[in-house]
Amino acid sequence: MPAVLPDDIAWWPTTKQAAAIRAREFSAQDLLALYIARIERLNPMINAVVTLDLDRAARDATVVDERISRGETVGPLSGIPMTIKDAIAVGGVRSTGGAVELRDHVPGEDAPAVASLRAAGAVIVGKTNVPRWCNAETETHNELFGTTNNPWDRGRSVGGSSGGSAAAVAAGLSSCDLGTDIGGSVRIPSHYCGTYALKPSFGVVPQLGYLSHVGAGRVGADMNVFGPIARSARDLALLLGVLAAPAPEDALAWRVTLPAPRRSRLAEYRIGTWFDEPELPVAAAYRAVLERAAEALRAAGARVDASHPNVSFAKQRDLWMALAGSAASPSLPAEIQQAASGTHMQWLRNHERREELRDAWRAWFGEYDALLCPVVLGVAPYHDLEGDPFTRTVDVDGVARNIMMDVPQWTGIINVIGYPACAVPIGRTDEGLPVGMQIVTSYLRDRESIELARHMDQTVACFEPPPL
């Protein structure tokens, strides 16, 4: 029988849990039993985990324990129980994309990224909730599984589309999770739930197996990435090391070798901030926490000033929206697919505009190591499932802001250029709700974003368990 572990171990960082399993402080089966018990007890109120695969999870945990007992080398995720966003194919497990059309869909094999996690020793416990096809919704809600609640306040949203992922990790129902992000979908839920997330550089993690429409999974989508959600920056580094890889058909000749961080001390960093955008200001309470985080970095020795790439926020946002409409069009209703996708010539022209923007960002990153900016406009909003999601609003200091069109703009402008960005918790507002910050670094400098997040663990804030 597995040993009964104390609940606080469920919130340990993945890196600490894996080290404890390898050191035989407790077994992979013990840790799996802890998370299963928590899912049984807490998931009914959070509704983050929607499908379980416990028989295989138990077998996989047993194999890890047996290998350790024989003194064999195990992978970096040795026996870690984790979940996978329900928009990602997991072999032998119901994988729906949140859509009734796939209610009985069971893929024959894992998505390549999931296969990498298994090869590293991860124990896949189940799937986490998503909006239908991961778009056209402001909440993690669908007809199959209902609504996911925020573990900090169950009356509030977790955003989307990796909302079940962030809620499960924050609530201690999973050690970590693999989500997807085309416009903020790992970063926004992490901001609302107080977790860490990485949107990797575009193309660094294979995105085959992404279930965005019936028949999907064989090709990737423009701007979309698979990214981890966790409870510490070190966990993001561990998971990125496992996930970064070429697609299987390219592995014969291609490798993904991300460079190590160039800075070792905060005093070596030059950091810009972009907290203000006149037509899209963030809530004053959130703005105050952003400023406190920047000041804490200054006090720790970093050079921080209000500077950002010489680009128009509005033009970059509009380009993201145009390209996102094209990328997401296969999952939209048939009557608007053509209007949303545009022509191939339009896409080519937009791609040229994207390269012009990337030139400006590259030039700015020639002088700066990182850019700090908001994730969204404020704290997690209250649930709102009424009417058309494109007409829903949230109050930001007395101004009604459209949840679908306004809220994801700060994250979307990073997706369109394909640069890496971490979302990290930076504290709580006076309401007691967590908020986060984006750390953007230059293309393929993913490890530098994570390294700065690690420094912020020690100087700004870190993960806090919600008051379940």
Catalytic residues: 85, 161, 185
Tell which residue, 211, 169, 216, 163, has the closest CA to residue 185: 163
Q: 256: which residues sit within 8 A by CB, 6+ positions away?
A: 204, 244, 245, 246
> If DSSP codes are grouped into helix, strand and coil, which group holds residue 367?
coil
CA angle 10, 14, 20 (to 5 degrees): 80
Residue that the structure tokens 């985990």 belong to: 49
Tell which residue, 240, 81, 84, has the closest CA to residue 175: 81
- What are the helix (H) ranges across 250-329? 284-299, 313-328
Report yes or no: 434 and 464 within 8 Å, Cβ to Cβ: yes
The amino acid at residue 183 is G
Tell which residue, 457, 15, 442, has the closest CA to residue 261: 442
Name 142's bridge partners: 146
Report yes or no: 440 and 421 within 8 Å, Cβ to Cβ: yes
DSSP tag of 140: S
Taking residue 108's Cβ as centre, other Cβ atoms within 10 Å add up to: 7
Name 150's bridge partners: 153
> If DSSP codes are grouped into helix, strand and coil, which group holds residue 104?
coil
The amino acid at residue 66 is E
Tell which residue, 75, 59, 58, 63, has the closest CA to residue 22: 75
Q: Please state, in angstroms and rounded to a whole number, the distance separating the CA atoms of residues 393 and 398.
A: 11
What's the first-to-final CA gap in the chain, in angstroms?
A: 28
Residue that the structure tokens 């901030």 belong to: 273
Q: Please state, in angstroms and rounded to a whole number, the distance separating the CA atoms of residues 49 and 125.
A: 9
Q: Which helix (H) or strand (E) holds 168?
A: helix 163-170
Residue 205 CA to its chain's centroid (Å): 13
Tell which residue, 73, 86, 120, 131, has the closest CA to residue 328: 131
